[in-house]
Amino acid sequence: MKKFRISSTFFAMLAVALIAFGCNENENGPTDTINNPTNLMATSGANTGNIGKILLKWTAPSSSATISLSGYELTYSPGGTTPISITANQTSYTVENLAVGTPYTFTLKAKGSNSTVSGGTQIKWAPARFSGVIRLYGSASSQGSGLDFNGGTDGAPAQLKVANGGAWDIGFDDTDPDTLGIGSPYQTSYVTETGAFKAPNNDQMAKKTFVSSARYTGASSLESVFESAALQAGTLEQLQAFTPTATQPFAFIAKTAEGNFAKVLVLATGGQVVHGTGADRYIEVQISYQPTINTPYALPKGVPTDFVVGNTVQRNTARATK
């Protein structure tokens, strides 16, 4: 019987061939993964009572030469562990029947045409209470100039007069004919240096509400104002300033003395912010309010038309940071 001897050179050549084949197979196999969606943002939607909803929007992932987008999977915690299938042509989705005040973590994954799934991108948000349109009247009116975010029926906002100013979370001040303001009651002209309302309402002490220095402009509804990160109200008690002839809506962030976050939208119905004259002068506002203390998810950003810094006024800088 003949014996065949295989040299070490043959084994070396065989090993090189197997490695090359393996590398080639990986290049053509299902190892490329679809990219994550980007710019995931959220906002609270209009709701009833303590049952809320979250609106999400995002940017579709980029495709490659070998992979295209086939859809999305959305999960959320707590509660939504079963993936929700979303079609590839969608870049928004509304999650309903959520508990107001409960923070949820949303995870959005892209699905590729080669059956791969991306690692996912996340955002955390809590549904907020959502108000209708509320009027706040000027100083010459016998109607309310301030707003208690949850002082009404079933936790709805309540418009209050100066006689109940101690319950205001924000106030509308039009005593300066050239520069009007809305924001911290402590900074309105209704209040003295000590923080008490002026006589005959000096039994009322003004709340100290933090108001953001920045503002969003151009939004006609709070449902169109998204955020990509938790709200920041800052550490200043101040008023957002505007003129009597203002024509553009704007929104700002507020944090109450108790620690509740809100987003306040000042509307420009019919192309004007201020309506009426004399005792009938008023502005219209809408709020998204977070009833859970220190939960900074009252409403997230989209991309507002503008984000402006410097439109605030501190009528009494000595008490601006108290």
Which pLDDT does position 7 carry in this prediction?
Answer: 52
**Calpha distance 317→187 (Å, rounded):** 9
| Cβ-contact 268, 247 below 8 angstroms | yes
**Calpha distance 142→117 (Å, rounded):** 61
Model pLDDT for residues 23-45, shown as the tens digit of each residue? 444 444 445 889 999 999 998 88
Phi and psi at residue 156, to the nearest 5°:
-75, 160
- Residue ranges in the chain modelled with pLDDT below 50: 1-4, 10-11, 14, 16-30, 298-322
- How many CA atoms are closer than 13 Å to the CA of 246, on its beta-carbon side? 26
Model pTM greater than 0.75?
yes
Structural domain spans, the chain: 38-125, 129-319
**Calpha distance 244→181 (Å, rounded):** 10
- The DSSP bridge partners found for residue 250 are 217, 266
CATH no. of 38-125: 2.60.40.10
In sequence order, what E strands does 79-166 have?
80-86, 92-99, 104-112, 121-125, 129-130, 134-137, 146-148, 158-160
Model pLDDT for residues 299-314, shown as the tens digit of each residue? 433 333 333 333 433 3
